[in-house]
Copies of this chain bind each other. A is one copy, B any other.
Amino acid sequence: MALIVQKYGGSSVGTLDRIHHVADRVIKTKQQGHDVVIVVSAMYGETDRLIQLASAVSQDYDPREYDVLISTGEQISMALLSMALNAKSYPARSFTGSQIGIHTDNTHTKARIREVKTEIIQRELQQGRIVVIAGFQGINEHGDITTLGRGGSDTTAVAIAAALKAQECQIYTDVDGVYTTDPHLLPEARLLSQISFEEMLEMASLGAKVLQMRSVELASKHGMPIRVLSTFSDGLGTLVTFEDKIMDKRLVAGIAFSREEAIVSLSGLPRQTGVEGHILDKVSQANIEIDMIAQSAAAQDTLDFTFTVHRREHPKALKIVEELANELGALSVKTNSKVAKLSLVGIGMRSHAGVASTMFKALGKAGIPIQMITTSEIKISVVIDEAHLEQSVKVVHQAFELDKPRTISGKQIYIE
């Protein structure tokens, strides 16, 4: 018998039928003899409905009141799920973030959890009840309702699991788990049975929208294993855990990518101390978020400076860079607003120098030009023409044999 925290997202509780389905899943876990704590998101569409109401009242709405409004979405879900469980003769009680004592800082709409009280949860579990808690919300030191920002329910679940020292935090979504790459783009993408926290963070930040990044950070900090599973099918999903618990030390975990990128490059920029900082200042003063940055020496006295931004920021960014080119005496400005980023992620590449060359060779062989490269300890990112994205993912996936199961001596690995 263990303590399991399960989180169900908006699409998992999107209709009353689905809420009953979730109740059945919860009951199954309870029947296995576990104590169960459930965290729920708002029903799919409810949060958008509330945001529309807020926007219609005032474009410049008060953040404190926004949180009061928006937090009702999870309160509705938790009550309905609790009713469904009680109707199936499994005693359950629902609690808001404020009732449980999920204490946050004062940053309305994007609050961070400071502390999770466990007294009420423990009391209810001791009485044999299933505890259903509203995700995404908490209370600040003034007793005001706060929300954690979009996707915050994952973070709530991990924070509660950590506070309770649960065995596992299970995040139920509408996908089977974490794949080597997006299966919509590449049908041979394969479900990972395990992935490390670090790899998951890189995958998450690169556009694999399975888990909210903050929740992975928090889980990593507290050593709380997360299991990503589907609400709508059976299967063990993907376990996100510490590197040393991963039994299969494959070089590469998967390929993340993002579209809608644009690249801007200053070529033949005279070398000058602090010139890079000056460029970035100008761009960020215009509230443009920069993603990748690369700098290479073109010649002894000049350098090339390249960065990427979201495609919608491209016109604004290009204008600034053209002004800078004049000011700084650059030879030329090169740009492409239809590029994509592809990133190879894997803890194994730390100690294996050959990963980059395997990747570049695979792209080269397919005739795909690389427009930019950046690397970090467990990630290599390249910028390519968006038209080449699908083919690029395919050839890199093949080059690392990601379609083949991670095996040790020929046997499929599951951790339990």
Residues of A within 8 A of B (CB): 16, 19-20, 50, 53-54, 56-58, 60-62, 64-66, 68-69, 71-72, 75-76, 78-80, 82-84, 86-87, 92-94, 96, 98-99, 120, 143
Listed by A's residue number, 8 A-B pairs whose Cβ atoms lie within 8 Å are: A20-B57, A57-B80, A65-B79, A65-B83, A65-B86, A68-B78, A75-B75, A120-B143
CA distance A101 to B96 in the complex (A): 16
Please state if A50 and B65 are interface contacts (CB–CB under 8 Å): no
CA distance A19 to B60 in the complex (A): 16
CB closest residue in chain B, given A72: B72
Contacts of A57 in B (CB 8 A): 16, 19-20, 80, 83-84, 87
Please state if B76 and A61 are interface contacts (CB–CB under 8 Å): no
CB closest residue in chain B, given A58: B87
Question: Chain B nearest CB: distance from A369 CB in Å?
Answer: 51
Q: List the 5 closest A-B pairs by CB distance, nearest first.
A: A58-B87, A69-B79, A72-B72, A68-B79, A62-B86
Q: How many copies does the complex hold?
A: 2
Contacts of A80 in B (CB 8 A): 53-54, 57, 65, 69
CB closest residue in chain B, given A59: B87
CA distance A66 to B84 in the complex (A): 11
* A82: contacting residue among B60, B62, B79, B87, CB under 8 A: B62
Question: Chain B nearest CB: distance from A101 CB in Å?
Answer: 10
| Most B-side CB within 10 Å, residue of A19, A20, A58 | A58
CA distance A10 to B83 in the complex (A): 26
Question: Chain B nearest CB: distance from A48 CB in Å?
Answer: 14
Please state if B16 and A53 are interface contacts (CB–CB under 8 Å): yes
Given contacts A16-B56, A16-B57, A50-B76, contact A83 B99 (CB under 8 A): no
Question: Chain B nearest CB: distance from A87 CB in Å?
Answer: 4
Question: Chain B nearest CB: distance from A46 CB in Å?
Answer: 10
Question: Chain B nearest CB: distance from A50 CB in Å?
Answer: 7
